[in-house]
Structures are given as C-alpha cells and as structure tokens.
Amino acid sequence: MKKLTAVFIALLWLAGCQKPPPIEMPPSTPRWQTAPLRVGTLYSPQIYVSSPRGDSGFDYELASRFADFLNVPLHITPYGNIQELYQALQRDEIDLIAAGLGDTSSRRAQFRLGPPLYYVDQLLVYREGSPPPADLSQLGAPLEIIANSAFVETLQTLQAQYPALQWHEVQDKDNEELLSQIANNELPYTITNSTTLEITRRFMPELRADRVLKAHQAVVWLLPPNHSDSLMSALLRFWHQEKSDGTLEHLVEKYFGHVKRFDYVDTRAFIRAVKNRLPRYEQWFKDYAGELDWRKLAATSYQESHWNPRARSPTGVRGMMMLTIPTAQQLGVQDRLDPQQSIRGGAQYLAQMLETLPASIPSEERMWFALASYNVGFGHVEDARVLAERLGKNPSAWKDVKQVLPLLQKRKYYQATKYGYARGSEAVQYVDNIRRYYDTLVWLDNQQNQPELAENDTDNRAAIRPVPPQSPVTEPETAVQPH
C-alpha cells in the first residue's frame, strides 16, 4: 500500500513539472491590412516618376490600384539601386518590390515572384554610326550593366558559348545613365530591356539595338520569401481582376503601346524644335491650354504644323493648329496664320471635342479620342466605337478603338457605318505621334529641374526655357501633308 501511495505521489509530481499545453492564439492580422502598403521601386520613365504635375509610371499606377484593392493607402519609396531594394525587403522596410524586374532563377531562389505583368526582350545596345560586334566575343571591353539585374544571369548563361565574354556590374548608375553614355559615345555597349529602349529612344534617338540576348522575359513584382502568403493571395486575386476587366492590358497600352514606331530623323528634328522653336510660342500654349496639360496642346500643334505658323496642307487647312476656314470662323479666329489666334482656336476646338465625347470614356483616355476626332472627325470616331462594340470590343477603351479605326478604310466595314470611309490608320498614327511628342516634352521638362544637366546641354538633353511670346515670326510657307 505504501508503495502504491509513493508511486501515485511521484506521478502527481511529474505531472506538475510538465508544461501546460500551449493556448492556440488566433492568427495575427497581416500588417498590410491595417497600414499603408509599402512599395519599393526605382526611378525610371516606365516604372516611377515623381514631378510637380503628379506621379506616374506603370508600376506606380498598378501599385496604386493594388492599394485601392486592399483598401489601404499607398506608401511608395524609390531606392538607389536593386541591391538596396533587396535589403529593404529583407529588413521588412517594404512589403513588395515593384520596379520592372524580370523573372530569373536567382530571384526565384531569394523571393516569391508575383504573376507576369508584361514581357520584354533583353537587347544589346550600341550607338548609331558605331559598328555592331560580329559576335559577343568581340565586344573589345567588358560590358557595363546594372548590378543585380536580370542581365547578369543572361550573361552567365551566354558565357558558356562565348568564354571571352566579360562584364562589369555598376551600382552607382541606373539604366538610363548607361544608355545616356551610349548616346554620348562614352560607352560602346550595354544591355537594356525592349520597353526601356523604346521609351528612351524618344529622348536619345542615337540608340540602336543589335540583337536579342533573351526573348520574352516576364516582368514581375517581388515579395518576401516568408510570411507573405496572405499578401501573395491578395496579389493573385488583384491580378486576376485586372486581367479579366482589361485594366492590365490598358496600362500596358498606355505606357508602351504608342512607342513601338520609331523615326530617327523625326525624333532628332523634334528635339531640335523644342530647343530652337518652341520657346517662341510656349507661353501661348500655357495661356490657352485651360485644364489641359499645355504640353499635350504643344505636341498636337507640332504634329499638325511642326510649329510653323504659315504651314498649309493640300486640303486648305492652315496655321499652327491647321484649322479649316469654317472651324476658324466658328472659333472666332480671324487670321489662321497668326500663331496666337491659331493656338487659342485649336485649344478651344480640342476642349469642345473633349466635352462632346460620351461620359463612358474614362478621363485618362478622353484626350486620345479627342485627338482622333480632331484628325479624322468626331463622326468617324463614333463609327469606330459602334463598330468596336459590334466586334465584342470596348468602345470606351482607346486600346480597342485604335484597333478598329483602320477598318474604316475597308468596304466590308465602312459601308455599314453612318459616316462611311475614313483614313482610320492615319488617325491612329496621328494619336501615337502626339503621345510620343508629349512624353518627350515631359521628359525634357523634367530635365530642366536637374541643375547638373545644364552644363552639358545637347540635342538629347535640351532644356525647355520659357520665354515671353514674341511677335509672329515670319516662317516660310511650307506645305504639310494632311494629318
């Protein structure tokens, strides 16, 4: 009996020494559900740009939409280079990286990768007039590329085929700076993405692509490898929504769709005109633009007349904004060759177009529809919208209507429209040209706020310096092809 008692006491003592079973706590609420979404990025025209006129960029705009989807504010922070972005994510200073980075095996080993946003080619870039290499073993010097970029992994793969291939990773420059060195003949070659080249050539037309080093690489966002399940789940739901409703495709069109065409001579001429001709008329563009960005009005005028107040076309339109006689009379323009009157009339006419457009067209796309109407006529644009709807497309999305406008040149389609035949493909090119001119003006305008560029102005980095309007300048009467 005594033995049984002793055993019982011992068991009680052992039980008392054991830890109680843990209390199961409810899972903690992810930080991003109750606080701003913290996004790390890089400065670049297609990624993120901050200016007095507002922030822009594909990644910025998509991140803003993602924050709205999560119903939290957006807190976006640009970092100096890719390594700093990596470190910020590892230190939990940011929730994700949205910086136009490609899907690579090394990044998959370090982070969680979001779904593909768009695709790019990696290109070897050189300067117009310089000889491209026969192959990658004859570059003559190590390639300079961005440190920690997707280009590193591509070169590591290519080195098996070209053992002499060498490169140098730079931390203190971004891709635009390397491309600028190519344009200024300070560097023979570098690598960039196809979208970056297409955008940058609007400011540095000397850039040329030699060959594709890697094709169709997905651009993705990066998330932490741990404790990011809920954020990844939300990102996938958001991506599916943006894909399904066409928003993702719209953003790709907005930032990259109009830069495919490139004309070296035209781009050089435009940059020279910004420096030498625009200052005569800039203040009038600003005075009459109203709620419209004056640079869009100026870009339209360049497309119409190359800022020549005496320009004319075979169809009889004249002046800076190429007004017809009936339109000029309707707008109170007494002298179409007077640049101030023409700019005022053109601005007023564009404003009327914007007001006439259906309310279903979103505010950020109304300008492109208005410009197409300025070029080909409001009735034909409405025909294209009706046709777009018949074809199962969105009549209020420019990316869809720009695909349909060229069909107005085909009998099969135009004979069933109210206003008939129209040169719709010219209207599409007209709008794309203005969008490129506008983007170039924005970039050049931003450069004048960077004092370090002032010492070495070139055609590619011309500063826009406003001057008071002068008396009408006598220009040669130049025939302009109809737009």
Domain ranges of the chain: 118-216, 264-461
- On the question of a common fold for 118-216 and 264-461, the answer reads no
**Looking at the predicted structure, is the pLDDT value of residue 23 above 70?**
no
Tokens of 125: 């870039």
**Looking at the predicted structure, is the pLDDT value of residue 213 above 60?**
yes
Element (H, E) at 168: strand 167-170
pLDDT attached to residue 237: 97
Q: Are strands 54-56 and 49-51 parallel, antiparallel or unpaired?
A: antiparallel
- The angle, 0 to 180 degrees and rounded to 10, between the axes of the packed helices 264-276 and 424-447 is 50
pLDDT confidence bin for 176, thresholds 50/70/90: confident
pLDDT confidence bin for 36, thresholds 50/70/90: very high
SS3 content of the chain, % helix, strand, coil (to 5): 50, 15, 35
Find where tokens 């420019």 sit: 398
**Looking at the predicted structure, is the pLDDT value of residue 70 above 60?**
yes
- What distance in Å separates the CA atoms of residue 26 and residue 29, rounded to the nearest whole number? 9
Q: How many residues does the chain have?
A: 483
Measured CA to CA in angstroms, residue 254 lies from 48, 219, 365, 368 at distances of 14, 16, 9, 10
Comparing 30 with 428, the larger pLDDT belongs to 428
Helix, strand, or coil (residue 299): helix
**Looking at the predicted structure, is the pLDDT value of residue 431 above 60?**
yes
Q: For domain 118-216, give its CATH number from 3.65.10.10, 3.40.190.10, 3.40.50.300, 3.30.230.10.
A: 3.40.190.10
Q: Are 136 and 162 within 8 A, CB to CB? A: yes
157: amino acid identity, one letter: T
φ and ψ of 119, to 5 deg: -125, 145
Contacts 24+ apart (CB under 8 A), 207-210: 207/125, 207/127, 207/128, 207/179, 207/182, 207/183, 208/125, 208/126, 208/127, 208/128, 208/132, 209/123, 209/124, 209/125, 210/123, 210/124, 210/125, 210/126, 210/132, 210/133
pLDDT confidence bin for 315, thresholds 50/70/90: low
Question: Residues 144, 198, 206, 304: which is the catalytic one?
Answer: 304
Which pTM does this prediction carry? 0.68
- What kind of fold does domain 264-461 have according to CATH? Lysozyme (1.10.530)
Measured CA to CA in angstroms, residue 152 lies from 176, 181, 212, 245 at distances of 17, 19, 15, 36
Residue 144 a catalytic site member: no
**Looking at the predicted structure, is the pLDDT value of residue 380 above 80?**
yes
